Structure 1
């Protein structure tokens, strides 16, 4: 099937408007081609609106067709009472799905299905419904003899259909030659028009238009008002309009409009109910914008009974022509072919012009109408007309959302029943949880019996906010309680319980699963004494859905205790003993700077130390089963060096003395007087002659563990003062 969405799609109001889209990208949104990750299209929203004579039709994204307004001769197609008024959209019979396009004629409607078949409802006095002439078709009947149709157009008493091959077929009134088959004979069955290579069609009151693939425009039928763009007699065969380079066309009652490839808009024919003086253009004439400048940037056009709408490339809507019923949507004074912007109509993706009513479909999926609403053709439940656009709120897409709480999670389901490109889910203080096209999100890892608030946004393809919904939910009570029932040196016992339909518990420590089952107690073994341990207990239902979770960090194994003694029997030795108080020491391991010093029973003696030397060890105490019970560090000092009492004798010219360490083994001595060496050797006794009477001398005794008098071998120093007696002093 030929894709005509970029500027065709669904036609005309009474004589006859065109609903057109801005671009193929917009079409993708408007036709539900944007899919969520699940592969499901978004909820049904309006994709097409088409206005006719005092009524309108719409198509939703699910292919359903709806009608509202004045139901003369059953043209709404709902199968109800003819000539009644529907103030709100009514479903068209047989079109719960499958509808792709619609076109409203004078008092009949054409429906196009996705299989290329054409259906009709409403007035059929001339066979314009594709059936034997009769007063009314209240529910759509299929038009026989048509297939592979891509576009339909309804006129006053005739209908047109365009096939994918570029051929045009007509049926209904042909008294002015509007079927284009070379005759003036009415036909209730489709007859082929004498034209080919067509890509767009339009049906006026009693004339027809076709746009060929080469950009030329052709007209046939009535030409009393210069609908051909030139003076000529009515023709039963297509006659070329003097205009080229055209990309889109539409037909009003007795006038026609076209868009050229450069975005300019052209008008010909007569606006018979337009301004105070009818506007007649015998040849295609360029439409102007402000300051009499040529109007440019047009992407779509829609012709009503006596007015015209233009959709511009900035998504604004402009209009000119008759404004008797406010169908122009602005308050500018109209003087001929001067288009002016419709008030506040921005972000528009398609337009449609009914007889005296105008319609716009915005990119966010909202439908707007202005002009006459005397027959309920707004579809908003009233008959109040408006000179300016009114949102038909019952048709505006809404963002619906629900929150389904579980025990530790909340499932969010949401859907915007309009063209949406992205959803965003926030919680709390604008914390973003999700951004994407999925219509469901599960917020996990929550706390039991806690309220959470969410705000869900829908955005279009340009990042504009379409709608938002705020909702709250409280998680269910699946509270898990955990307690410590006892500890040994190497084990901890836990007890726990959970609310809700608990099928199993899972106990973890350091993200490692220790237990999974129905028991409500658990003993963790192989632990170290006097150590804290951190547990998490989770509960699940029979389907594995988390119900609750509790972290527990108050469990500690039983502490091993004992007595540590570090004693220094002399200045060279340190003895360490550990006696267990509540366990029996099986082995003691001592390390210093990571190196193994000792491994054995509970006592260790280290020799060859120096006086007042700091001694430290990293202890590991194991019980008789080899279980590490205590790991700690111990520090001590060896004894300070002790000297024997000084034995001193002196005369006026000599001195004798002796002293030595009593708790260390000195091997060699150095004796200094006044800082100078006097003696070096193994003896600790010393005698010296030749001193000066009445003089003070300072002596130092250095004790070494080796004849190597390096500093590391120095045990200690003993310093004292000697004063020799005066020569005449008693000796």
Structure 2
């Protein structure tokens, strides 16, 4: 096992805020394939669900059915994942990009298959317009409007005219007017500032929207329209809204996820209904989500795990409204689960839940929306430090039966807190701590020496 370093190698002030039951604390949400993430109003990121590749960022591979706080403290302003991805990206308020989870195609840097179970710094993204983590490839648009891609390129999904995998970002063409690009399953959909829509990569279900099923290794324009406003990408189907508020879709349609009433694939965009008040869109692997300007939430497509939230497991081939609420703000779809955020900051989830991705403390599927409670924030605040504390570690870490506080004499107390910030153990005048009875997971160890100094260290219990 690799050695776990102390967080930031600095003194950390451990502040515990009172536990909040269900209330309005959520600001932003994102879904991966089997995992979920939320950004709270206080700038902390919380993750839950499947953790096979470390996509929860807590240093373990243990699934969590309740939200757990990402260990880098507050100061986050954005989170991003997609329904076909097993890794997550987060941007801090200083515009530094971090990533964690699957690294099968070196999408987080380093070696292929070297999965990142804790956040790793990926660089400064100040001025970037768009960042999209895909399942096998990822995309960024820089502030100058250029488009860059890296990762798997089996079907030309990077768009550089080849099928050669790239483990470092390469620029796609020379255009400087890209505004958004989203990674699908082995393909890409992108929007330019002039309102034109482009696609490349795999095209077996018509997901490129160019009227063919031909694989494209370079960008091709979808139709001739120049009034496209926003895009969303699922597993192999796509949604788009035009500037007139109309909704369009194309690609794979076996489950009715296009929304035109059929189950036939569409290799060009087709308009969904006649409404002109569509505001935002999102897509799961095989289901679709959209919010209208009146705050109503609409879903359609695959429903075999209850991901449409209507209390059934019956697929829907046209959009239908879920609940009578008119205050929905953001929706996000995973492989077979859904999250949605209301304007009051309350978070709701439904659908597939075998890995705890609904965040309600269970692994039971939910066919209707359930609330995701606001967990207690455990804030880690950097304060003044001295060189001596760089050497203070917990050994072994991860620990199975016990750990020792190394390189610190004169210990007054050792306290262990769980990820929700609750005290679960306190020890006096001892540097050898028995943790055999603790469940596997991540803990915070607060050590006070005889001079009253506090040292915080992260502990992983195997």
Residue of structure 1 in register with 2:116 after alignment: 137
Question: Structure 2 residue aligned with 1:163, among 142, 154, 160?
Answer: 142
Residue of structure 2 in register with 1:247 after alignment: 229
Counterparts in 2 of 1:116 and 1:238: CA distance versus 1, 3 Å: farther
Would you say 1:86 and 2:71 are equivalent positions? no
Residue of structure 1 in register with 2:240 after alignment: 258
Q: How far apart are residue 159 of structure 1 and its match?
A: 1.1
Q: How far apart are residue 322 of structure 1 and its match?
A: 0.6
The superposition leaves residues 638-678 of structure 1 with CA deviations (integer Å, 9 ceiling, x where unpaired) of xxxxxxxxxxxxxxxxxxxxxxxxxxxxxxxxxxxxxxxxx
Over alpha carbons, which structure has the higher Rg? Answer: 1
Counterparts in 2 of 1:130 and 1:236: CA distance versus 1, 3 Å: farther
CA contact (8 A) 1:129 1:172 kept: no
Structure 1's unaligned 5+ residue stretches are 1-42, 289-293, 398-731
**TM-score under structure 2 length normalisation:** 0.70
Residue of structure 2 in register with 1:570 after alignment: none
CA contact (8 A) 1:118 1:143 kept: yes
Point out which structure has higher relative CO (alpha carbons under 8 A, 6+ apart): 2
Residue of structure 2 in register with 1:282 after alignment: 267
* 1:394 counterpart SS class: coil
CA distance, structure 2, for counterparts of residue 261 and residue 343 of structure 1? 27
Q: How far apart are residue 325 of structure 1 and its match?
A: 1.0
Q: How far apart are residue 273 of structure 1 and its match?
A: 5.2
The superposition leaves residues 226-255 of structure 1 with CA deviations (integer Å, 9 ceiling, x where unpaired) of 111120522221111124411110111111
CA contact (8 A) 1:109 1:122 kept: yes
1:703-718 alignment to 2 at 5 Å?
Answer: none
The superposition leaves residues 241-288 of structure 1 with CA deviations (integer Å, 9 ceiling, x where unpaired) of 124411110111111110111111101100355579844111101112
Counterparts in 2 of 1:355 and 1:142: CA distance versus 1, 3 Å: same
1:59-74 alignment to 2 at 5 Å?
Answer: 59-74=39-54
CA distance, structure 1, for counterparts of residue 316 and residue 254 of structure 2? 15
The superposition leaves residues 97-147 of structure 1 with CA deviations (integer Å, 9 ceiling, x where unpaired) of 234232245211122233333322111121122332124111122225865
CA distance, structure 2, for counterparts of residue 147 and residue 272 of structure 1? 40
* 2:53 counterpart SS class: helix
Residue of structure 2 in register with 1:173 after alignment: 152
Counterparts in 2 of 1:118 and 1:71: CA distance versus 1, 3 Å: same
CA contact (8 A) 1:348 1:360 kept: yes
Q: How far apart are residue 177 of structure 1 and its match?
A: 1.6
CA distance, structure 2, for counterparts of residue 141 and residue 274 of structure 1? 39
Residue of structure 1 in register with 2:410 after alignment: none
CA contact (8 A) 2:207 2:236 kept: yes
CA contact (8 A) 2:282 2:290 kept: yes
Would you say 1:269 and 2:251 are equivalent positions? yes
**TM-score under structure 1 length normalisation:** 0.45
Residue of structure 1 in register with 2:327 after alignment: 347
CA distance, structure 2, for counterparts of residue 270 and residue 396 of structure 1? 41
Residue of structure 1 in register with 2:437 after alignment: none
Question: Structure 1 residue aligned with 2:33, among 47, 53, 65?
Answer: 53
Question: Structure 2 residue aligned with 1:234, among 207, 215, 219?
Answer: 215
CA distance, structure 2, for counterparts of residue 193 and residue 279 of structure 1? 32
CA distance, structure 2, for counterparts of residue 88 and residue 344 of structure 1? 27
CA contact (8 A) 1:247 1:261 kept: yes
Residue of structure 2 in register with 1:219 after alignment: 199
CA distance, structure 1, for counterparts of residue 270 and residue 102 of structure 2? 34
CA distance, structure 2, for counterparts of residue 261 and residue 109 of structure 1? 30
The Cα RMSD (Å) is: 2.5
* 1:318 counterpart SS class: strand
Counterparts in 2 of 1:366 and 1:385: CA distance versus 1, 3 Å: same
1:536-575 alignment to 2 at 5 Å?
Answer: none
The superposition leaves residues 521-549 of structure 1 with CA deviations (integer Å, 9 ceiling, x where unpaired) of xxxxxxxxxxxxxxxxxxxxxxxxxxxxx
Could you list the structure 1 runs, at least 4 aligned residues long, displaced by more than 4 angstroms after superposition: 144-147, 272-278, 331-335
* 2:374 counterpart SS class: helix
CA contact (8 A) 2:24 2:374 kept: no
CA distance, structure 1, for counterparts of residue 58 and residue 376 of structure 2? 22
Residue of structure 2 in register with 1:309 after alignment: 289
Question: Structure 2 residue aligned with 1:374, among 354, 364, 368?
Answer: 354
CA distance, structure 1, for counterparts of residue 54 and residue 278 of structure 2? 35
1:499-648 alignment to 2 at 5 Å?
Answer: none
Counterparts in 2 of 1:77 and 1:285: CA distance versus 1, 3 Å: same
Residue of structure 1 in register with 2:10 after alignment: none
CA contact (8 A) 1:44 1:60 kept: no
